[in-house]
Structure 1
Amino acid sequence: MRLSEATSRDTAGAPLVLVPVGSLEQHGPHLPLDTDTVIATAVATAVAAKVGGWVAPPLAYGSSGEHQSFAGTSSIGTDVLRSTVVELVRSMRTWSDRVVLVNGHGGNVTALTSAVDQLVDEGHAVTWVPCATELVDLHAGRTETSLMLHLAPWSVRRHLAEVGDTRPLAEILPLMRAGGVCAVSPNGVLGDPTGATATEGEEVLRAMVDDVLRRLVTTGVGAR
């Protein structure tokens, strides 16, 4: 159920609100800037179908400073994202029992962790969960391309897909911390989109949703 389409009467005493948290950042020459937001929203929507609750409009701007060398990247940074999450959850918790933040961008983790720690200390029922699975590669590679072929195929420029830096994160992380993604990948891709398919994207999405559901069980949110 989409929160944006609800009325005040509909949402009074809501047991759960899921908030997708994404980004607006480069995803190579072939994927749209809102890739992380599309994925986070899809995961949140699928989870809501299993456990109930409202799916809020996404937080579409994230902390994406590592991508700032690429045009189109629009980042609000860690501090602003953290403050936004804190204020948003405080507001939502006046009428809902629990808030779950569904995160689609790794650069948001510091902000979300800090914000949730503060909110929990204040007594709010809130947690954040990642859109994560063992099948995921680093950025704009086969996994994200497959997901977008499944979720929004019209937005994928397959003819522009290029191989990027395929080294493991541990090897390239020091370089990225010093100079951003462009220091290791001139085209902004960390991975290889070759072989991406919508079928694989559907499988990855299902794995992400199952992972989130398992995580929520530990917080007392169960399937209907």
Structure 2
Amino acid sequence: MEFQYENSYEIKDKVTASSIAILPVGAVEAHGPHLPLGTDNLLAERVAKNVAEQVEAFVLPTLPYGQVWSLRNFPGSINVSNESLISIVVDIGESLYNQGFRTFVMVNGHLGNQPALKDAARVLFTSCPDMKVFYFFYPGMKQAAKEVRETDSAHATYFHACEIETSYMLYLAPEYVDMKKAIKDIPNIPEDADVTPTPWEAFTRSAVLGDATLATKEKGEHIIEIAIRNMVDMLRNHCQKRR
């Protein structure tokens, strides 16, 4: 169910019946020569719709801008601060709470958003005590990726426009992928990049962190379906406890 296409006369009863709202959260940033700037938006939106269908939830319009400080100097990237992101997510959450929603789910497509979404969830924990807030970022993907990837990860945490994220796109939004332009670019990320502010242009010109040429739809399907199953299971368990 897509929230924006409902009408004011009927929505109240539908919210009472469902009470679950899912917000896809993405970003606009460089994703190499083969993926669009809105990759994270597409992934978040399509995962969110899949989850919503299985738990009978509403999908909210996608929040399309994220914290992309690391890539803010690359052509096409649009950055918002953590503070701005926290503020708007809290405002959305409190508005949903006032409308009767009691489960607020953020399906995040961009790793850089996670600190802000976690902080927003903590604010809502206090301001909306009867509302459960989830902030998902492909739960279970780390182990699932190990099972299918052919190259080592360029970084213990980051994955970007690489074998993994390109595989996600080939599964969920293949019409936006140009594999003819996919490249292999495995950067040498300095050790201190994890403990000091480091713009990504310091170690990559392409914004690709791996070998995108190895991406396949099948790899994406394997990882994404595990992540979706984990999200659905957590939401169903939560709903059972509320009854």
Could you say which residue in structure 2 is the equivalent of 1:5? 5
Question: Counterpart of 1:9 in 2: which secondary structure?
Answer: coil
Letter in 2 for 1:191: G
Could you say which residue in structure 2 is the equivalent of 1:209? 228
Computing the radius of gyration from Cα coordinates, the structure with the larger value is 2
Could you say which residue in structure 2 is the equivalent of 1:93? 97
TM-score normalised by the chain length of structure 2: 0.83
Contact 1:43–1:131 (8 Å) recurs in 2: no
Could you say which residue in structure 1 is the equivalent of 2:172? 151
Could you say which residue in structure 1 is the equivalent of 2:58? 54
Superposed CA offset, 1:63-101 (max 9, x none): 011111211001112110000000011111112222111
Could you say which residue in structure 1 is the equivalent of 2:112? 107
Question: Counterpart of 1:178 in 2: which secondary structure?
Answer: coil
CA distance 1:64–1:221, shift in 2 (3 Å): farther
TM-score normalised by the chain length of structure 1: 0.89
Structure 1: which 5+ residue stretches go unaligned? none
Structure 2: which 5+ residue stretches go unaligned? 146-152, 154-158
CA distance 1:217–1:32, shift in 2 (3 Å): same
CA distance 1:124–1:88, shift in 2 (3 Å): farther
Contact 1:61–1:74 (8 Å) recurs in 2: yes
Could you say which residue in structure 2 is the equivalent of 1:40? 44
Q: Distance in 1 between matches of 2:134 and 2:202?
A: 33
Task: Find out whether 1:179 has 2:183 as its counterpart.
Answer: no
Contact 1:130–1:212 (8 Å) recurs in 2: no
CA distance 1:145–1:210, shift in 2 (3 Å): same
Superposed CA offset, 1:99-134 (max 9, x none): 111111111111111111011112151221112412
Select 2:182's aligned residue among 161, 177, 184: 161
